[in-house]
Amino acid sequence: MVSTTAEVWTDGSAIHNPGPAGLSYIIRYYEDKEDSMPEAHEIEFKQGFRLSTNNRMEIMAGVYALKAVLHLVDEGTLMDLRQINLSSDSEYFCKAVNQNWLAKWQANDWMTSAYQGKKSQPVKNKDLWEQIVAIQEELRAKNITLVMTHVQGHAGNDFNERCDELARNAANGTEMLKDEQYEKQATEYGR
């Protein structure tokens, strides 16, 4: 029997921010064996992008990882999954999910709230946040709970450190995808 909980670590990196960028994730789950200790399964993934930002990579790493877990559910590998524990060193990403910023932004037509005399602004990375909202809806439909935890970066957590290494390697790699939305915005605003 495969465990009902999956552990996920994510990270993103951008050189010069914005610049060449990368994301990574690690997914771990356990399979019970009749006559031995549970067997750990681990999936590592990294992807580079020719131009993006650190914040986009942090969020996109979560999108990629959660979609990968849902694929494992749909193919039957994690058919009994009930909880995903996602750890990220992006406080922004974790707060947006945990403090219900997404619902507030949606209710405000994807505009930030006016705060301390600042005017309301369009929410950055709306395309990625919309994907997170869709993933949350799919998780709810499958009765899977998402628990987001902020972990301190570069603080000795082996999985966070490994994700950081993978994301940096991807940002420095040669197999780069195009972050379509970011590059479109960068061109529009002359960046």
Indicate which residues carry an active-site annotation. Answer: 11-12, 58, 89, 154, 164
Q: Concatenate the DSSP letters of all residues of 120-181 into one string.
A: P-BPTTHHHHHHHHHHHHHHHHTT-EEEEEE--TTSS-HHHHHHHHHHHHHHTSS-EE--HH
Spatial separation of the C-alpha atoms in residues 185 and 117, rounded to whole Å: 26
Q: Which 3 state secondary structure label does DSSP give 20? A: strand
- Decide: 57 and 10 in contact? Cβ < 8 Å: no
